[in-house]
Amino acid sequence: MEQLVIEGGHSLKGVIRISGAKNAALPALAATLLAGGEFEIRNLPELRDIRTFLSLLEGLGVTNSPEAQEPGKGRRVVLNTISISNHEAAYDLVRTMRASVLILGPLLARTGAARISLPGGCAIGARPIDFHLKGLEHMGARLTLKAGYVEAKASRLTGAEIYFDVPSVTGTENLMMAASLARGKTTLKNAAREPEVAALGQMLQAMGARIQGLGSSVIEIEGVKELKPVSWDIIPDRIETGTYLMAAGAAGGELRLQNACPEYLEAVIAKLREIGLEIESKGQELWVRRKRRLKSADVTTLPYPGFPTDLQAQFMLLMAISEGLSVITETIFENRFMHVPELNRLGADIRVDGRSAIVRGVKELTAAPVMATDLRASACLVLAGLAAKGKTTISRIYHLDRGYEHMEKKLAGAGARIQRIRAEMPY
């Protein structure tokens, strides 16, 4: 079992290159199912979830070339989707990666059939996929639920008007992909506006899809009969970028972040400046510095362009060591405060009250062994280790490896005392 050991109290100084976005790469890989031929996907991050998705595609009959590392860029993969020989995503894959649901729309639109395991719940909430299923039914798919699997059939989907009760990122992505090959026009209302959704729409347009309204909450798709393969670059990861901005807030010092996208982080940068971080942006670069103790501020997570739920845990760490009291309200997921008991083990003073956490800033955290529970909570614990006095050990870091490419190497390169060790578990 691997662990991270972090010796806190050392400020950061250095340059970190931001990787391609996991949550843009997964839908882009799913979109390759929509057309037969050779796709080239570039700037892929080297993550467990990407490898899992590539093996999911291989199970459907997609062949992929060995990923070549492009100097200074992310990984590149060539996928050949000419023949789809299987229509099923098995439980053991979907259970480990909910984003597997993204093959449902494209597989159904391309082949007329799909069978995927209903994803179970996960650490941060029930995370149902009812919007995905209702939308496909609205487009004429016949769905049956059997033994934990949803089986979908449709000779050809037809366009429909679909309204999301709440904006859903992968729900919007799944239905946008399905609608690209449907007969007639689909309108998605109250659609998600995340940059990853817009980036997927731009890839579909490059493939020949006819889509209007990307980035807004009303997306219109005029179905076409056929799409073509493309070469496509994955956009930078705004959540990784926000995490490293906050790492400078946790450890002190300064960082230069290359290959970032400041325009995706307006709400986050505004909030970080409000609490006292100095942040400058120039083109694809961001510079951040913390000189003095941070002030506290309240945050409520919202769909884009609001403050992202995927940076809530990391921000809470900053509030745990700031001056004053902060109320952090999580409106997207019902159980995304699993990092609170772990932070309190390090000496934080946080109390959860329903959907809000009340954080009373303390002067200093003290190192202790802690356990990661989900992807973004593990990032929060790494930042806590940078801030805490002494050596913090984090176990179950496989959660971290799902969404952060070589995090300990990137931080060590900027002066953090952090290393990955293989620990023999006592049991």
Q: Which residues are catalytically annotated?
A: 122
Three-state SS string across 177-204, please?
Answer: HHHHCCECEEEEECCCCCHHHHHHHHHH
Output the smallest distance, CB 312 to ligand EPZ, in A: 9
Binding span for ligand EPZ by CB under 6 A among 165-173, 198-206, 212-220, 241-249: 165-173
Question: For the purposes of burial, counting CB atoms within 10 Å of the CB of 204, is it exposed (0-12), middle (13-18) or buried (19 or more)?
Answer: buried
String of DSSP letters for 319-383: HHTSBSEEEEE--S-TT--THHHHHHHTT-EEEEETTEEEEE--S--B--EEE--SHHHHHHHHH
Q: What angle do CA 355, 360, 366 make, to 5 degrees?
A: 110
Alpha-carbon separation of residue 257 from 237, 291, 317, 404 (angstroms): 11, 18, 20, 15
The residue count for binding ligand EPZ (CB under 6 A) is: 24
- Name residues contacting ligand EPZ, limited to 324-363 (CB under 6 A): 332-333
Q: Is 31 in the site for ligand EPZ (CB under 6 A)?
A: no
Query: Torsion over CA of 185, 191, 196 and 201, rounded to 10 degrees?
Result: 10
Output the smallest distance, CB 201 to ligand EPZ, in A: 14
Binding span for ligand EPZ by CB under 6 A among 77-85, 86-94, 124-132, 179-187: 124-132
> Which of 128/184 has CB closer to ligand EPZ?
128
Rounded-to-integer distance, Cα 406 and Cα 227, Å: 35
Q: Which of 99, 109, 198, 277 binds ligand EPZ (CB under 6 A)?
A: 99
Rounded-to-integer distance, Cα 174 and Cα 183, Å: 16
Q: Is 166 in the site for ligand EPZ (CB under 6 A)?
A: yes
Q: Which of 14, 37, 59, 125 binds ligand EPZ (CB under 6 A)?
A: 125
Q: Give the number of other CB atoms < 10 A from CB of residue 181.
A: 23
Rounded-to-integer distance, Cα 263 and Cα 337, Å: 28
Q: Which of 31, 129, 246, 267 binds ligand EPZ (CB under 6 A)?
A: 129
> Which of 25/255 has CB closer to ligand EPZ?
25
Rounded-to-integer distance, Cα 56 and Cα 14, Å: 37
> Which of 311/416 has CB closer to ligand EPZ?
311
Q: Which of 106, 201, 385, 403 binds ligand EPZ (CB under 6 A)?
A: 403
Binding span for ligand EPZ by CB under 6 A among 109-117, 166-174, 201-209, 404-412: 166-174
Q: Answer for the pair 420, 2: CB distance below 8 angstroms, yes or no.
A: yes
Q: Is 171 in the site for ligand EPZ (CB under 6 A)?
A: yes
Binding span for ligand EPZ by CB under 6 A among 64-72, 76-84, 162-170, 340-348: 162-170
Binding span for ligand EPZ by CB under 6 A among 150-158, 167-175, 360-368, 388-396: 167-175
The pair of three-digit structure tokens given for residue 37, joined into one six-digit string: 């031929």
Output the smallest distance, CB 20 to ligand EPZ, in A: 13
Binding span for ligand EPZ by CB under 6 A among 6-14, 161-169, 208-216, 349-357: 161-169
Q: Is 392 in the site for ligand EPZ (CB under 6 A)?
A: no
Rounded-to-integer distance, Cα 63 and Cα 393, Å: 40
> Which of 166/421 has CB closer to ligand EPZ?
166
Q: Is 145 in the site for ligand EPZ (CB under 6 A)?
A: no
Q: Answer for the pair 95, 148: CB distance below 8 angstroms, yes or no.
A: no
Which residues make beta-bridge pairs with 229? none
Q: Is 280 in the site for ligand EPZ (CB under 6 A)?
A: no
Output the smallest distance, CB 347 to ligand EPZ, in A: 26
Residue span 284-323 as binding mask against ligand EPZ, x where in contact by CB under 6 A, dash where not: -------------------------xx-------------
- Eight-state DSSP code of residue 148: T
Q: Is 375 in the site for ligand EPZ (CB under 6 A)?
A: yes
Alpha-carbon separation of residue 12 from 291, 399, 411 (angstroms): 11, 24, 8
Provide the binding-site residues for ligand EPZ, judged by CB under 6 A. 23, 26, 98-99, 125, 127-132, 166, 168-171, 192, 309-310, 332-333, 375-376, 403
